[in-house]
Structure 1
Amino acid sequence: MPRSNGTARTFLGRLPLPERTTVADALRAETVGGIMLLAAAATALVWANTPWKSSYETVREFHFGLPAFGLDLSVAHWTADGLLAIFFFVAGAELKRELAVGELRDPKTATVPVVAALSGMAVPALVYGIISTSAGGTWNGWAVPMATDIAFALGVLAVIDTHLPSALRAFLLTLAIVDDLGAIIVIALFFTSTINLPALGGAVLGLGLFFYLHHRRQVHGWYWYLPLAAVIWGLTHASGVHATVAGVAMGLLLRVAKDRTTGQRPVERIAHLARPFSAGLAVPLFALFAAGVSVSGATLSTVVTGPEPLGVALGLFVGKTAGVFGGACLAIRFTRAQLGPDLALADVFALAVLTGIGFTVSLLIGELAYPNPAAQEQIKTAVLLGSLTAALVAAVLLRLRNSHYRQLYEAEATADTIDGGCDNPPRSNG
């Protein structure tokens, strides 16, 4: 479709080479992380539903750390507050890069994924609230179905994809970055009960020192930043703000301008180095000690009959689909952004269903919203069922779209072969 006087921007079209390289690198790491995340979650579920369940609880609740500094935490607490800070650090770095030199730097290009992400957070919360309160429940878990698990979603997409347009992956990655930022804001604003101002002030000063060393002095040694990051994390934890906020804050402070000596962008280089620790260690270990719920007939029936678990499950499956797809359609309808000429709304709908996989951040928010262990079990089961339903339905839809694009590819290949044969007929011996 020709552009009108150069003002319309094509969304989900072919990305420039630097963008394709960045997206491909992120996808390779996250795909591996998705497989490891799936294995860790399966291990946790099996372990928690066997005669060795007590050993799972023993390991999960084992405490260690630095009691003098208020850091005598359980293994589950260390993985949720500590290791997930690495995950959110990478998310913050990716967001910083996208805002500065990536897809999100151009408001016209960023409109569709940003609107889809925001709508994909608001609608699930609304679906949860309507279902829960109409059946006598509370609004406590409104934030649980808001977040998409990028590692799981990309893992499903990688298993299905052989001919799907690569721009679909870029859309999912961009949407998930905005989604993660929204989740961090929600955690910071709504799940912080008390604030220790001296500790919070110390964390802010630590971030200021981080900025000074990284931007003004351009210090490169990791041995400067790792101890400083540990101090910032510890002060953030002591302040009462969820400690993962420290991770995303440091990620957003990374420098985008290229180094004069290396010619690389520090935000890209550091995120590239940290991503394997996030996808291969932090997230799988969190899943191992967060997904171990005891699944029984009574627990499953509670998801269907309990207002709050049902609100979480339908919020993920129905709310995320309606929110992401509806937001994308509204952005396309009322802004200058357009779908790429080779894509259809059916592709966006299949991807919207896929965003209903809410695992890592959903489980984290579930633990924060429901301190009671029995309620946590029900909410975690609802997250697992809602995410599993979304993954299965999305897999079917994406496979259908993949078959559609494979047929187009084969038809084009056949046409090229025929045209090539006509253009170069065999020569006679004469």
Structure 2
Amino acid sequence: MTDIVDELRWRGLLAQTTDEDALKKAFADGPVTAYCGFDPTAASLHVGHLTQVLTLRRLQLFGHRPIALVGGATGLIGDPKPSAERAMNEVTTVAGWTDRIRGQLSAFLDFEGGEPNTAVMANNHDWISQLSIVEYLRDVGKHFSVNQMLARETVKSRLAGEGMSYTEFSYVLLQSYDFVELYRRHGCTLQIGGSDQWGNITAGLDLIRRITANEPHGQAHALTTNLLTKADGTKFGKTEGGTVWLDPELTTPYAFYQFWLGADDRDVSRYLRTFSFRSREEIEALERDSEERPAARIGQRALAEELTTLVHGVEQCAAVVEASKALFGQGDLTALDEPTLRSAVAELPGARLSEGPTVVDALVATGLAPSKGGARRTIKEGGAYLNNVKVADEDAVIGTADLLHGRWALLRRGKRNLAAAEITA
């Protein structure tokens, strides 16, 4: 494919555009400069942000120039939620988060080389902090109709409940002004975002037309992507342990890999198209193989390896793949380094036990067996494993020599039920 719009449509990403034919022409005449904004409302981006981050990457690979905008100013306010007011974070906290997110974004786009499609990093604090309140009201606020703002769905839902502060009510003005600044500074003519951002993005288009009415300018555009949902109805990017972050300190590379490996068979095709950079032919082949052999989780493995490599690097991906294999008896547990084993163990059910417990006690404590009698039956039937070695003795004790890195014992019941015991002196 040579048309980025058709590429996004095939991948199930394209939700809305202001004028598709005009946008296609702009891309054909390109390069187009496009931006997406990321507010620092936490210390890290999460997997939900990947749709937009990787769409910027696709645009760059197609020869267009992406701008990664971190909202150092808008992050102090926060895009209004439909349900309740956002908590205000400290200015120094937001500044720190801004720097961390800039660092994360820099790993996905090419900011070097000086080519027409070389990416740009921006921070809206650079211009919003320079606006006086009079300039803000005269030069930005006068172009917005309160009636139209009140008609926005988020505003209506909030006004029907506990209400909304003027701070959050005015968020759309600041995001719209970002588009104007990037339009003037970098010739940016396209803003992308999730479909829930359509109102904010089109407000920016309208502000560009109004503010630059007497300036020579080209046509600006909006493009939104479909919001990703999970087949089981739960929110994408959430697990029982919480949000799946891109920061390895918040979500370990092993847990990140397992998130994709555990994807529902009903979701894997959409995930491949949304997140993978494989060609159409490769993805369709993976879809066929996944449908024919669902138990092999071919699509999930391909996606998990590709995204773990993209986010955490080749070495970390190789380490977690080996850990995943070793935990289920397909590799050498003793070959895993301590950080990798620690992150893998953190994702398993577990228990802390005093030195020298029996395997029976450990099976019960970790929840792999409901009782000591049940644990003994499991051993007798050949279904209990200690560090991937079948346990034959119902009175077996976990000794010092059995501890991985002097600390953990891996227990397994059957083929798939895993747990870890941490043994302390």
Bigger relative contact order, structure 1 or 2 (CA pairs below 8 A, ≥6 apart): 1
Which structure has the highest strand share of the two?
2
TM category, shorter: under 0.3
Higher radius of gyration, 1 or 2: 2
